[in-house]
Structure 1
Amino acid sequence: MNLKNTYALIIGVGGNDIPETVNDAKAIAEILTDPQKAAYLKENVTLLTESKATRMNVLNALKALASKVKTDNDATVVVYFSGHGGLFGETYYILTHGYNMYDKPNTMINGDEFSQLINQIEAERLLVMLDCCHAAGVIEPPISIKTKGDDEDEVSLFSSNISLIEKLNSGEGKVFLTSCDDNEKSLILPNAKYSLFTQIAIEALEGHASLGSEYVRMIEFLCHLLINVPKRAAVYHRTQRPMINHVSSLSPDYFLCKSSFSTFDIPEIPPILKEKSMKHRFEALLQKHSIKNIVTPTSEPHYLHQFPKGPMVEGYMINDKIIETYAKSINQQQSRSYINQANRLRKQADPQNSQTTLINHIELPSPRESNAANYWAHAFHQASLNGPRMLAALLNVLTDDKYDTETLESKNQLLEYLKNHK
């Protein structure tokens, strides 16, 4: 790996509610520029935090980065953003330092604008990491989480990082990663200096998963994140799953940085065995964390406006045949994706309402440990408790061709009833 051809733009917006984003960005930059660790050249790494992380500075830094690597045929580029980001109505914005809710075009970065600049970075290898949607203060039971925006009524937005990475042009050597799915939060654990996602990214950049190799490969970096973020979040009874764009192939020699753990520290595994093991694990992880597996709803968010938000719907209104259809049509591995899409659809119908009640994965049985009918019975029960609009959202993530004629008629009758439910 040619370390002279490595570049990075690291952004930590900061602010009173998530000062950890500055620590996150500084830590990533420190690891990358440490000659004994990732070993990027300092002059090739740009760090923007707090007052330096303004809209104009971020845009100029992205343009400068694209210009710098344009003539470099072997460039490795890392772009890291830690801060606020989400949907205002149907428009995605990244909130830069000094943002003004009443002047979004001039104080924030539109998602289309950001993605266009990212797509102009013609690097051989490109990694984009978005660590947004922070939730701080996970403590011992009873567990309490302070989420971004709890104390700021003016910051009322639907955090949808999936909406942003879907805009980025996938391709060989391009990896786009978010710290969590849309209905999850990027956790900051008790007494932690960094967010959970960033802490594990730091470990991977240091070479914790590289098994004694001289360099950190992208596939090892991703495996370490995709395995350990959910695992450590689960200790606190929380769900956080990094999401990745669809990756068609990752070259075995896709190196990201130098490893601080040499073969003298860890006995290196024979290359053939290591390659087979890592490839198998990564393919399995990609099935769970790829945005390719995000379910497309059968309706647009505004469709839900014809359904009242409340009150709760009586459980007996839901035909058992509808639950059976979901159980038969959706495989075990995709169950959570359908719930996530129902939540996403429901939230997008009321993006300004931070109090929207969604289906909580924690209150559902594990898809692996419960039979499918039981899982979906619990899911529909939760949806009905959250009102007609949430129930309608869940009913609109499974296409009509999955139903038999009688059950489809029953579903449509239920939807008509929900429009006038009082």
Structure 2
Amino acid sequence: MKSTGYPQGYALLIGVANYRQVSSLPSAILNDVKDVAETLSSQKYCAYDPVNVVTLLDTEATRAAVLKGLDELAARVGPDDTACVFFSGHGAVVGSPGNEDSVLVTVDSDLADIENTSIRSDELAAALAQIKAKRLLVFIDACHAGGAAISKRLTDDKGHELKSGYSQRAFERLAVGRGRALMASCRADEVSAVLIGARNSVFTTALLEGLRGAADKYASGFIKVFDLFNYVSEEVPKLIPDDQHPIFKADNLEVNFAVALSHGGNKAPCSPETTPTGQKEDSWSVLESLLIELYPFGPQDQEVWSRSGGDLFRLQLHPNGQAAWHAALRTLKQGGGGRNISFSSLLRTAKEDFSNHAQLAMLQAP
């Protein structure tokens, strides 16, 4: 059966490598945008309508053009659509200590007048807020090292310098709103790597693999937001051990929404929608779904995390229970969340609280 595609998918993809007045970036930055656009538009992968995928590269990515592109995206996208915004280029930290902000550096940005020639985080957040889609995913890859050199500074030929990167505060600002999520290439104190000779940045290499089906672990026919981040966050450290860790932000995300089709929408003969819990999914996925059901307010609900030996202060808490559990279990899977908590201790506590729960009783530690 021929796929009907994913006509509700829209994307604005922006990449700048060759700046007019700022230090340049590797050509992989432009390849990132081109390859993400091709993957989203491919009928064998994400199956977006090609007319719904807009790219702005280098000279096209002026401050005015990026803001206009966001306005046009907001005008085209309806509440039931899915929207993706992808930026790859320089980010810069501006403002005084204690009152710092971050900006996206467009191709026409001038370091001598950066606040008026770039896009501030509050300005970008306001533009994103105009997009009425219930599913909005923003990708920010704006902490690059300049060229092959590891540098945390932006420079021009006039002696101006700014700290490179994008702050935690700015990331959080961009994720505000129901159904909105942000995925960034690295933590605020890290550099987004481009390996010498590679076609794509490390982050986009993993992202492309995820979008091309690797993130759809159980062949459901969809690439979903939590699954995509899980894949990217696990693959990037394999390529750059201990040096780069993608981050995920969501202020009010209630569901693991679909970002795109997977392999054109092809499902396995027996997908998770029709498979009894635990037979197709791995133990971590089953535990997550059960904890969301039983402790809907997150790891602090009934003090389940603390009673299992965990430390809530080691978690990045979210106002939404589902997002909080997703983040907490990912942290636990990576060895964090407290010295004395484990999959087994968390499962044991849940079984003690709900001794008659059949699915819990069947679940075993991996």
TM-score (norm 1): 0.60
5+ residue gaps, structure 2, are: 19-23, 290-309, 317-333, 341-366
Which residue of 65, 71, 83 corresponds with 1:63?
71
* Aligned equivalent of 1:35: 43
In structure 1, runs of 5+ residues without a counterpart are 139-144, 284-329, 338-365, 373-422
Q: Secondary structure at the match of 2:277?
A: helix
Task: Mark the structure with the bigger radius of gyration.
Answer: 1
Q: Does 1:239 align with 2:243?
A: yes
Higher share in helix? 1
Return the match for 1:185 from 183, 191, 194: 191
Residue 262 of structure 1, CA deviation: 6.6
Q: 1:231 to 1:66 in 2, by over 3 A?
A: same
From 291, 294, 314, the counterpart of 1:334: 314
Q: CA deviation at 1:282?
A: 7.2
Q: Which amino acid aligns with 1:200?
A: A
- Counterpart residue number, 1:8: 11
**CA deviation digits over 1:381-417, x for unaligned, max 9?**
xxxxxxxxxxxxxxxxxxxxxxxxxxxxxxxxxxxxx
Residue 230 of structure 2 corresponds to 223
Q: Could you tell me the TM-score, scaled by structure 2's length?
A: 0.68
> Following the alignment from structure 1 to structure 2, what is the Cα–Cα distance between the partners of residues 25 and 282?
33
C-alpha separation between the residues in 2 aligned to 1:194 and 1:56?
27
The structure-2 alpha-carbon separation of the partners of 1:115 and 1:40, relative to structure 1 and needing over 3 Å to count, comes to same
1:92-113 CA-to-partner distances (Å, cap 9, x unmatched) read 2110012111222442112211
Partner residue of 2:59?
51
The answer to whether residue 97 in structure 2 is matched with residue 87 in structure 1 is no
Q: Residues 172-211 of structure 1: matches in 2 within 5 Å?
A: 172-210=178-216, 211=218
Q: Secondary structure at the match of 1:166?
A: helix
Check whether the contact 1:18–1:83 (CA below 8 A) recurs between aligned residues: no
The 5 Å alignment of 1:297-312 reads none
Query: Is residue 2:79 matched to residue 1:73?
Result: yes
Q: What's the RMSD between the two structures over aligned residues? A: 3.5
> Sequence identity, in percent?
30
Residue type at the aligned position of 2:53: V
Deviation at 1:242, TM superposition (A): 1.1
For residues 317-368 of structure 1, the C-alpha deviation after alignment (integer angstroms, 9 at most, x for no partner) is xxxxxxxxxxxxx959839x9xxxxxxxxxxxxxxxxxxxxxxxxxxxx997
Cα deviation for residue 57 of structure 1 reads: 0.3
Change (3 A) 1:263 1:232: same
SS of the residue corresponding to residue 64 of structure 1 reads helix
Aligned to 2:230, the other structure's residue is in SS state helix
Q: In the alignment, is the contact (CA less than 8 A) between 1:206 and 1:261 conserved in 2? A: no
C-alpha separation in 1, matches of 2:214 and 2:269: 10
| Contact 2:143-2:164 within 8 A present in 1 as well | no
- For residues 36-55 of structure 1, the C-alpha deviation after alignment (integer angstroms, 9 at most, x for no partner) is 11111111111000000000
SS of the residue aligned with 2:72? helix
